[in-house]
Structure 1
Amino acid sequence: MLTMLLLFCFMFTPAVYSEQDAGPLMPDSEEARRILQDSLSIVEIDEEISRISSRIMELEALQDELQGKIGELELTIRDRRERAGAVLRSYYMGEREQLYYMLLSAKSLAGFFRVLDFYDLIIQNDRDVLTAYNRQYQELASSKAEAARNASALVEVKDNLVRQRERVLALEKQVDSAVSASSNPEAMKKLIEEFTLYWENVGLYEVKRHFRALANAMENLPDFVQGSKNILKTNGKVYTINIHEDELNAFLRSEDELFNSFAFHFNDGKVIASGESGNLSLLIEGRYTVVDDPQNAIMFQVDKLVFNRIELPDTTRQALQEEFDMNFYPKQLVSFLKATEVSSANQRLMVTMELDL
């Protein structure tokens, strides 16, 4: 209750927030906006550094586990190799042929079947030895390959950590210099502090709420396309989706009231989704592209993300894309289709799909 009371008091502090809404007062100059943008980038890149550090710990733990597994397999496979080698040598040296001759030289039918059972037992044991060796060898090779991939990923992640730390240091110097050069450094510091708190307590929640709503709506888009007239067409071999932005926006509003003040626009290869509610504004600019890995999809690539006129850094865009799946999967529409081309122009999104048999 105490926490809620403090938060209530904070959100309605007149010196920081407007009377109409819980949003912070926005800067009235381009210079102040840039300072806020850089300061918010520092916060978000710091979050990315935290995520990278956690990922490094996971990869290092996995690498230790893989190396331990490889060591155990190498010890086990050493004995298997010797036994498998003995089996192969016996065939190469013709030792198993003696069993065949014994089978042919049996004096009676009962003797023949006794030798045959013995022969089958030895052959099955040879097979088991070779199969076990091959299985463990393949497992060892797979574990070594996975360890190599993991080591490569670890190096890449650590390099990324260094780059992000360098970005933060450069931005911190830039912000400190800009704040010192401003007409009222103390007021600017206060604005940075309050806007950062607002982003962490309200802004990030609102951005994620919109991304979550988009991801949920995209799950139902295949059903909408199938149930709508003139959106999906085919000539037998090629299928096309041709959807006007008004049709998509109507669909989104039927999925969530949040989209009553948030709309998509298609033009010049770009996809722009934007909206305002009170003192909150959000703009997502991106494009749709065809990808085949890990599966065929129309992927929404976020190129620009602006919250309350402050552009968020690439680390935030990437983190949101990883957390929320806003892609369109043709196989959810028709199981034997794959997307080959996508474009957006003249208020329309067009997807070309072909048979994937």
Structure 2
Amino acid sequence: MPLILPAKLIRIVFAATAMLLFAWLLIRLPVLAEPQPALDDRHTLLEKSLSVLEIDKEIVRIQEQKAQLLLAKTDTEKQLKLQEQQISDKQDEAGSILRAYYMGERDFLFTALLSFDSLSDLLQMIDYAEFIFTYDKHTLDTYMEQYKKVQEGYKQLETRQDELTAIEQQLHTQRERVLELEKQLEEQLAGRSDADRLRLLMKELTSFWDSAGMNEVKQYFRELSKAMQKLPSWVQENKQLLEIKGFQYTIRVPENDLNTFLRDQNEIFNHFSFQFTNDKVIAQGKRDDMEIRIAGHYTIENDPKNGILFHVDELLFNGFALPDTTRNALEEEFDLGFYPDLIVSFLKAESVEMRDGELMIKLSLKL
């Protein structure tokens, strides 16, 4: 005989089941309502902490430049005062000589030369006149030379002041950047349950970058700079890379050939490779738990000399992007340019492009 439960008992069982289900949902809801911070949020915070460290270094560098400029400006001012004193001593004398010629006070020399009684008197008068003219010329030349130095001194002082103004602006800009980044970090960390852990990760990342990462990046840039100095000779030795059609020269460097060349130069490039794509150069590698990625482009420059210069558009260390200040500092410290006149002295670069795994440089004759 089937068991028939009273309606009241069924309602009680149903209510109890519903309560258990609701309690289970309450346990689950906090997880749904407060998701753990996304990994990309943590990545952004860590990246900002790295930027703060690097921009702080840029501020120190700018402050050092400012101190050097102030010393140079002070030295220029001292030299200018000395030059002004020297020119003051000669100014009256030069003015007297000019007035003498203007007022005709030197006319007696010409009269004396035309009224001589003997050849010996004429020769003696010529010597006397030559002495006076030479002395006058020397005095005027000295005055003009000192005057030019004073004018150059003023120009140097003006240049120093302009440089100092620009440095002050850079300093202000970088300080504002650091303050804004620090403000953003504090706002984003506020109220986070993992704030302490993130602060520890930031400290570990910046410490690792400062103690090992930057040295690793600089080592790559240093060895790349050395290799680029040997690249023209390598192109000369590998004639298949150079095409000549009339007066048009084209250098084609496949990325595989370039990577082979670099690995022949230094074993550090065994863990590093170049790619050419869409007018971009991408170089990346990993060694000793440090992964580096550099992306950039080439431009043709003619000042101070014709060459193909490399510009760093992106620098990643273990996936974290470094700020523009770090990229610019590396560009200034290491020359990764390519200079065609080291292949043939009468050649200059006209264009450069990267596509389909190949670097193509078009050259023409210097006119």
Q: TM-score, normalised by structure 1?
A: 0.88
Q: Separation in 2 of the partners of 1:253 and 1:308?
A: 22
Change (3 A) 1:106 1:67: same
For the pair 1:333 / 2:343, whether they are aligned, the reply is: yes
Report the alpha carbon displacement of residue 278 of structure 1 after superposing the two structures with TM. Answer: 4.0
Aligned partner of 2:132 in structure 1 is 122
Q: Separation in 2 of the partners of 1:272 and 1:29?
A: 25
Q: Percent identity?
A: 40
Aligned partner of 1:36 in structure 2 is 46
Aligned partner of 1:20 in structure 2 is none
Change (3 A) 1:76 1:38: same
SS in 1 for 2:106: helix
Q: How does 1:1-357 map to 2 (within 5 A)?
A: 29-357=39-367
Q: Separation in 1 of the partners of 2:109 and 2:284?
A: 81
Q: Separation in 2 of the partners of 1:94 and 1:238?
A: 67
Gap regions ≥5 residues in structure 1: 1-26
Report the alpha carbon displacement of residue 283 of structure 1 after superposing the two structures with TM. Answer: 0.7
What amino acid sits opposite 1:140 in the alignment? V
Change (3 A) 1:90 1:49: same
Report the alpha carbon displacement of residue 312 of structure 1 after superposing the two structures with TM. Answer: 0.1
SS in 1 for 2:240: coil
Change (3 A) 1:89 1:236: farther
SS in 2 for 1:213: helix
Q: Separation in 1 of the partners of 2:160 and 2:307?
A: 26
Q: Deviations over 1:294-347 (max 9, x none)?
A: 222211011111110000000100111111111112232222332232222222
SS in 1 for 2:335: coil
Report the alpha carbon displacement of residue 117 of structure 1 after superposing the two structures with TM. Answer: 1.2
Point out the more displaced range, 265-274 or 38-47.
265-274
Q: Separation in 2 of the partners of 1:100 and 1:235?
A: 71
Q: Separation in 2 of the partners of 1:355 and 1:111?
A: 66
Q: Separation in 2 of the partners of 1:87 and 1:351?
A: 63
Q: Separation in 2 of the partners of 1:80 and 1:354?
A: 54
Q: Separation in 2 of the partners of 1:34 and 1:337?
A: 46
Q: Deviations over 1:125-160 (max 9, x none)?
A: 122112211211111111111111111111111111
Q: Separation in 2 of the partners of 1:338 and 1:96?
A: 59
What amino acid sits opposite 2:46 in the alignment? L
Q: Separation in 2 of the partners of 1:28 and 1:281?
A: 23
Greater Cα radius of gyration, structure 1 or 2: 2
Q: Separation in 1 of the partners of 2:294 and 2:184?
A: 26
Give the RMSD, CA atoms, in angstroms: 1.8
Aligned partner of 1:14 in structure 2 is none
Q: Separation in 2 of the partners of 1:140 and 1:266?
A: 53
Report the alpha carbon displacement of residue 234 of structure 1 after superposing the two structures with TM. Answer: 3.4
Report the alpha carbon displacement of residue 181 of structure 1 after superposing the two structures with TM. Answer: 4.3
